[in-house]
Amino acid sequence: MSKTNETVRVELAERSYDIRIGENNLAEAGSFLLEQGRATHAVVLTDSHVEEPHAHKVAESLAAQDVNVDMIVVEPGEPSKSIEAAAGLWDAVLEMGADRRSVVVAVGGGVIGDLAGFIAATYARGIRFFQVPTSLLAQVDSSVGGKVGINLPKAKNMVGAFLQPIGVLIDTRTLDTLDSREYRAGMAEVVKYGVILDAALFEQLEAEVGRINAGDHDLLRGVIAQCCRLKADVVRQDERETTGLRAVLNYGHTFGHAFEALAGYGQLLHGEGVAIGMLCASRLAERLGRIDSELTDRQERLLTAVGLPTEVPDVDPDLVLKKMMHDKKVEHGRLRFVLPSRLGHVELVGDVEPQDVLASLKR
Ligand SMILES: NC(=O)c1ccc[n+]([C@@H]2O[C@H](COP(=O)([O-])OP(=O)(O)OC[C@H]3O[C@@H](n4cnc5c(N)ncnc54)[C@H](O)[C@@H]3O)[C@@H](O)[C@H]2O)c1
Ligand SMILES: [Zn+2]
């Protein structure tokens, strides 16, 4: 095993498993997977941005362990998380002779992880699932927590399941080929963890902006491991999203989702919307007397330093409000927000007045 690996143990009622984080460790994928149990057949699902070289390295490492490997390459992007794509994959996996000894291996970003996990959860009433997340967002967020699924034409992530993987392998070197804008967008979720749960992480990010922007692997390994630990801990306490605790992970997302949707398709990446959304939520917390402006300023300085946008896009404020009313965090027509009360701590705040929301869109 590579000396640089760090392991995060995810302890859940349904299943416990390890996330292994290191540098240049894709060649260990096969042996790591087999440590979790016997497997004779693997279906590697990837997209055409990730296939070469990452998915091939994973496939080779599985073949080296005498696992029979099939690979399926889908189009990159959100449209692949569709009913049509899933239907094609069920047929393809059947054609490959997949059975209960097979494992679905996701090598890619959140789209591939969610789609592959959904196929694993449903094919033959559920087969095993292993993940190799390759985008920063997938490494710190979507590969932890067991939510898998696809989109309906009118509703994102509306059909899916909870399925924990048998293991997760993260190679920080895969980030070297990731588009830098996607990398920065993933960093918004990292900053989010600092604000909601971990002041020391936030301070580390402030102190290490240079290494973050340079993609320093030693730093990334520790930061990614810490984000996985933080999310795993929240998930452990609210595995099926029943107690509401998991909602803290949505800091900045109510505003962010509205900006993403209203800015026009492809204008704002998810993480970019979240970056702007966190600042709006923080200003809202200021208005409600929960924090002073210094906490908002600190977030803005850090987000700017890692190259994220911080300005609310030019959208109709009333449409933002309307969009939020359709968001999941609305209860009986009342707006609810995850708001900071100090660095490293947030609370779910109900009954927020629309005029306060509108005011926090302005600086
Ligand atoms: N399951 C969950 O808990 C959860 C949480 C958050 C987000 N998500 C889902 O995750 C998806 C977004 O994930 P994402 O941001 O990773 O998007 P993505 O999977 O579309 O990846 C972004 C882009 O980067 C490319 N890419 C990924 N890794 C690469 C690499 N190493 N080198 C070069 N290119 C690479 C992809 O091909 C794609 O073009 C959304 O569908 C969202 O709903 C799920
Ligand atoms: Zn997010």
pLDDT, mean of residues 22-51: 98
| 327 vs 34 pLDDT, higher one | 34
The residues with which 22 forms a beta bridge, in sequence order, are: 171
Q: 268 CA distance to ligand 1 centroid (A)? A: 14
**Residue 162: how many other CB atoms lie within 10 Å:** 17
Secondary element (H or E) of residue 198? none
Report CA(138)–ligand 1 centroid distance (Å).
6
User: Residue 329's pLDDT band (boundaries 50, 70, 90)?
Assistant: low
> What lines the ligand 1 site, CB under 6 Å?
47, 49-50, 54, 76-78, 81, 108-112, 114, 134-135, 137-138, 141-142, 145, 147, 157, 174, 177-178, 182
CA–CA dist 67, 327 (Å, integer) = 44
For residue 108, give both structure tokens.
């890619």
SS3 295: helix
Active site residues: 125, 147, 189, 231, 241, 246, 250, 253, 257, 270
At 2, the pLDDT band (50, 70, 90 cuts) reads low
Q: How confident is the model at residue 1 (pLDDT cuts 50, 70, 90)?
A: low
Sheet holding 345-352, edge to edge: 330-331, 334-342, 345-352
The H or E element that residue 140 is part of is none
How high does pLDDT run on average in the chain? 96
Domains and CATH numbers, the chain: 6-177 (3.40.50.1970), 181-359 (1.20.1090.10)
Both ends of the chain: CA-CA distance in Å?
A: 50
Report the residue among 114, 141, 246, 251 best suited for mutation to probe ligand 1: largest number of ligand atoms under 8 A from its CB.
114
Q: Give the model confidence (pLDDT) of 114-129 as tens digits.
A: 999 999 999 999 999 9
Q: pTM (2 decimals)? A: 0.97
Per-residue pLDDT at 4: 85
* Contacts of 131 by beta carbon, 8 Å cutoff, 6+ apart: 105, 106, 113, 116, 117, 143, 165, 167, 168, 169
Q: How far is the CA of 141 from the centre of ligand 1 (A)?
A: 10
- How far is the C-alpha of 9 from the C-alpha of 15, rounded, in Å? 11
Q: What is the pLDDT of residues 225-281, one digit of tens each?
A: 999 999 999 999 999 888 889 999 999 999 999 999 999 878 999 999 999 999 999
Residues 68-88 have pLDDT tens digits of 999 999 999 999 999 999 999
Closest ligand, as measured to the CA of 338: 2
